[in-house]
Structure 1
Amino acid sequence: MKQNWMIYGANGYTGALIARTAVVQGLKPILAGRRHEEIHSLANELGLEARVFSLDEPNQVLTGLREIDLVLHCAGPFSITSAPMIEGCLAVSAHYLDITGEIGVFEHVHAAEQAKRAAKAGVVLCSGVGFDVIPTDCIALKLKELLPNATHLSLGFDSDSGISPGTSKTMIQGLGASSSERREGIITEVQLGKTKRIIDFGRGPKTAMAIPWGDVSTAFHTTGIPNINTWIPMPAYKIVGARSLKWLRPLLASSSIQHALQKWVDRSVSGPDELARKNSPAYIWGEARNADGETRTVRIQTANVYSLTVFGSLAVVSRLLDMKVSGGSYTPATLFGAKLIEELPGSGKFQIF
C-alpha cells in the first residue's frame, strides 16, 4: 500500500537538502511549510506535491496532514514548532520525526504520558534523526553494550562544518541559557564554560568544553545511564569567554537582542556549500565508566554534520515506512540499533578502546 510522507520546513537549508536527496533516492515526499512561494518553487523544481500551512492553528495542521502517514519535521526552532506538529501527528496517526537537538523537545517527546498517547495512537515519535543525535546516540548504545553496568557517560563531537541559518537561530535562542548535564538521572543546569577536559575526538587531543547537547536527554532514554555530559573541542581562551557570558545572560535573552540577532542571520548566514560539506567530516567520541572505574571508549568518523542529517533522516524514514513498529517514544538507536550510524554513507566503523 502506498504511504504518503511529508517534509515540513522543506524550504529551509536542511529541509531542501533532504528533499533533493530524497528525489535522487527515488522517494516522493510531499513538501510543506508556511511560505507559499518558496515551497511551491522547490516542489515545482523537483516535481513533487506541495502543501502550505501554518502550525499556529490546530485545524490548519489537521488539514495539512490529511492522508499523511509520516512527517519529517525540519522547521525550527523546534522548541516552538515541535509541539503543534506532534499534536497533529497524534490526531491523524502519522509517525513524527524531527532533526532537533534541543533538550526540551526531547524531554517533551519522551515524557511518560506522551509515550502512552503515542502507543495508543500507533504513532512512532522519534526526535533527533539527524546529526542531532544519531551518531552520539548510537555510540551511547554501543558503550552500554560494551559496559552494561556503566554509571557515567560522556559524548561529544569535533567537526569543521559550517552552520546553517536554522542552527544559527537555535544557538542564538540559547545564548541566554546555561549548560546542562544529567546527574543521578536528573537534568541539571551547569555554568557554561565551568567544566573542561582534554579529549581525543579522533584527530588528536584537544581542550574541550561541556555543552547542553541533546544526548543529555536522549542518551538517558537509550541507555538508562544516570550521569551524562556532552562535549565539543574549544580553545582554553574561548572557554574562559564562555564563562563570562554568565553576566550577559539577561541581556542576551532580551527580546530586542534576540530579534536583532535573528535578523542578522536572515541577512548573513546561508549554510555550507556542497564542497564544504564534502571536505568536513565529523569525529564522534564517547566514553563510559562504571562504579569500579573501568572505562570503555568508542570513536567513529562520519560524513559532514549536514550530510549526515540528510542520510540519517532519510534512512529512518525509509525504514519506518517499510516495517511495522509499535507506537511509542523512541530514540534513533532504540529504533534501529547502534549499527545505524555505521550503515550511513560517509561513516566508518566503530573504533573501540
Structure 2
Amino acid sequence: MSPETMPATFSETMKAVRFHAFGGPDVLRYEDAPKPSPAPGEVLVRVHAIGLNPPDWYLRDGYSMLPLEWQPKVDFPAIPGTDISGTVEALGPGTEGFAAGDDVYAMVRFPEGLAGQSRAYAEYVTVPASELARKPAGIDHAHAAAAPMSLLTAWQFLIDLGHDEPNPLQPAQHRPVPFAGKTVLVNGAAGGVGHFAVQIAKWQGARVIAVASGRNEAFLRGLGADDVIDYTRTPPEEVVHDLDLVVDAVGGPRTGRFLASLKPGGALFPIFPLGFAGTEEAEKRGITVSATQVRSSGTQLAELARRLDDGTFRAMIDSTFPLAEARQAHERAAQGHIQGKIVLTVA
C-alpha cells in the first residue's frame, strides 16, 4: 500500500461552522469540530473554498418550507454545505483515481446528505471518490467552489440527466429537450443556476431572453443573453410569447404564469417546482412541465471542468466571506438580488 492510500494520522479537531438548533443566520457558529477520517471509497479533502446554495439555508432553517412528512431528521450539531474546492489530503482504504496533493472540486453527498451529512462548511471534508473531479486548472478554488450544484443543476435539467434514479418530484423521469435554434427564457437569470442556464442555452445555439432586475443587464449580456427583461419594470409573461422553453430558476407557486408565454409543444422547467398548480392548463396547452432533483456526479463535474477551464462556462462570484463569517454570508444571501454565487474561503 502506497503512502497516499494509507489511513492518515488525524488531529482531533478542525474548524467548522455548525448549528445546534434551527433558526436564522445567527445560529451558525464557527467552532472546533471532530476532523473526519475517510472510509473505504472516500477521499479526505482539505477545503480551500465553499460555494453557498439554497439547501444550506433550507437545512439551517429545518426545511420549514417543506411539508412536515418531507422534512428530514437532522442530528445536532450539524454542518451545512455541499460545494467545495480543495486539495486531496488522504485517501480511504482501497480508494483509487486520486492522489494526495490533487486539486479537486465536488458537490458532496447530494441529495443523500440533505439532513446535514455533506458537511462542507469545514476545513476538511470526506467525499465519495465517485463524486469528486479534478478542479479546472484555469480557475481558482473560489470560482471552482462556486460551480458544482448550480452548474450540475443547469446541466442535468438542460443537457444530460446523467443517472436513472427515480424522480422524487414527479412520476416520470425528467428529460432535457432540444433547444438549439429556439427561443429560451431564463427567469432568475442572474442567480446561481440562472447564470449557468443562460450560458448553456447560448452555447447550444438558442436565442436567450434573461429575466432579472435591471442592474444585471450588462452582467447577463456579458454571459450571452440576447435580450434582458427587467422584471421590476415589466412582467415578463406580459411581453414574451411563442417561447420554446422557459427555465424558471425561481420556480414556486408563480411559475405557472409562464404557460401562456410558451408555444404548444414547448416546455417549462421549474428548478423549484413545489407549489406549481397549473398541470391541467399545461396539458390543455400541450406544454411539458418537468423538474428533477440534482444529484452528485464526479463524471459530469470532470466533463464540466474542461468547459470551465477553457472559458466556455464561467462561474461568477457575487461576494466572498471567510469561513468564520458564514453568518454574514447567509445574511447576504437573505438580501437576495445575488449576482452569481456567494463563496466562503478557508485560510
The normalised TM-score by structure 2 is 0.31
Larger helix proportion of the pair: 1
The normalised TM-score by structure 1 is 0.31
Q: Which has the higher contact order (CA 8 A, sep 6+)?
A: 1
